Amino acid sequence: MTPIVSKLPNTGTTIFTVLSALANKVGAINLSQGFPDFDTSPILIDLVNKAMLSGKNQYAPMAGVLALREQIAIKTKKLYGSNYNPETEITVTAGGTQAIFTAIAALINQNDEVIIFEPAYDCYAPAIRLAGGIVKSLELEPPDYKIPWDMVKKLANSKTRMIILNSPHNPTATILQKQDIEELSALVRNQEILILSDEVYEHLIFDNQIHHSMASYPELQQKSIIVSSFGKTLHATGWKAGYCIGPEYLMNEFRKVHQFLVFSVNTPMQYAIAEYLKDENTYLGLSNFFQEKRDYFREGMTQTRFELLSSAGTYFQMATYQKITDESDYDFAIRLTKEKGVAAIPVSSFYSKGTDHHVLRFCFAKQKETLEKALEKLIKV
């Protein structure tokens, strides 16, 4: 048998798959993987059915159905005041992860350095390595997980090709502030540094705070590929539909890879989403919708021995457990699932070095009844 030289020798099955499989096996309440346990809008499902019945079942254009790209352009203009050409600067993708992988594959060359901030969503580093790039990671620390811009300045050099940002941030539930934007702008000004901005939770911002999209700042917009997700926005993660926006010179390169990776995305859903987005309340109401769930979960967690960190965005809640055990976060997460019946993600899995601050990530994108049952179990831990 011919030996295989792995391109990702240190990569195994993701922690999300491990914990979800364990939760299913033992019948635990799954607050680990980030997906809702409630369905998307019946209106949207009806629109998909209508698109299918009307014959919208063949290949979509490579860049996406134009009607959907036009709605994305309208939405982006309304929210962030920026203009993107639907023809040349917007591409519909098979979810956010595909968009991230495609952007990295298209823009990172051999030995290019890419700065990421850990804890980081687990697809960033493998995609960089597969493209031949070099991962330069900076570790963020609880309780606030602030970006140490003085350290970023020291890490950046002539080989730095890209900085990956994620706001609202998975897993920490933090968001970029105006000061972060000012520091970032100063760092990349007059430098050949691109920005990959993972904004898949853009509509999940709490407490009347502002989402600082790269699209809101002309100087950063011209250097940025921005990724968003209809899965997160429409409670339909299984549809694997998202999009990417960026200036034409970057989108040209993005599409060169996109066309050979997936070519195009499911057609009827694109037509349905295009129609659905015409009502802006479908996404403008998400912050209040999820903040109610966050507040309910946080209130219930005050009755446990967990200590909560802040949750400014996403549908995640971080919690430390020093008052409960000195186990590693991985061991505690496994035991919590098996013995207590609630699955959560150990945050060390988001660090390349496995850095363990004894923090778990819970997903509160669940029905109230699900959260109530989970809280009943967590109170007994």
Residue listed under structure tokens 């939760």: 23
The 10s digit of each residue's pLDDT in 169-186 is: 999 999 999 999 999 999
- Nearest CA among 352, 345, 316 for reference residue 329: 345
How many other CB atoms are found less than 10 A from the CB of residue 4? 6
Specify which residues 115 forms β-bridges with: 136, 163
CA 89 centroid distance within chain: 21
Per residue, the 3-state secondary structure of 41-76, as one string, reads CHHHHHHHHHHHHCCCCCCCCCCCCHHHHHHHHHHH
- Count Cα neighbours of 337 within 13 Å in the Cβ-side half-sphere: 26
How many other CB atoms are found less than 10 A from the CB of residue 170? 25
Q: Quote the CA–CA distance of 130 and 116 in Å, as a whole number.
A: 15
The percentage of residues in the chain with a pLDDT greater than 70, rounded to a whole number, is 100
DSSP letter, residue 205: B
How many other CB atoms are found less than 10 A from the CB of residue 357? 18
Q: Quote the CA–CA distance of 201 and 233 in Å, as a whole number.
A: 8
**pLDDT truncated to tens, each residue of the chain (381 aa)?**
888 899 998 888 888 899 999 999 999 999 998 889 999 999 999 999 999 999 999 999 999 999 999 999 999 999 999 999 999 999 999 999 999 999 999 999 999 999 999 999 999 999 999 999 999 999 999 999 999 999 999 999 999 999 999 999 999 999 999 999 999 999 999 999 999 999 999 999 999 999 999 999 999 999 999 999 999 999 999 999 999 999 999 999 999 999 999 999 999 999 999 999 999 999 999 999 999 999 999 999 999 999 999 999 999 999 999 999 999 999 999 999 999 999 999 999 999 999 999 999 999 999 999 999 999 999 999
Report how far apart, in Å, the C-alpha atoms of 229 and of each of 45, 48, 202 are.
17, 17, 9
Domains and CATH numbers, the chain: 15-37+285-379 (3.90.1150.10), 42-280 (3.40.640.10)
Q: Quote the CA–CA distance of 240 and 288 in Å, as a whole number.
A: 24
The 10s digit of each residue's pLDDT in 233-275 is: 999 999 999 999 999 999 999 999 999 999 999 999 999 999 9
End-to-end, the C-alpha distance of the chain in Å comes to 50
Contacts of 62 (CB under 8 A, 6+ apart): 255, 258, 259, 263, 264
Does pTM top 0.75 for this prediction? yes
Report how far apart, in Å, the C-alpha atoms of 101 and of each of 97, 107, 131, 336 are.
6, 10, 9, 33
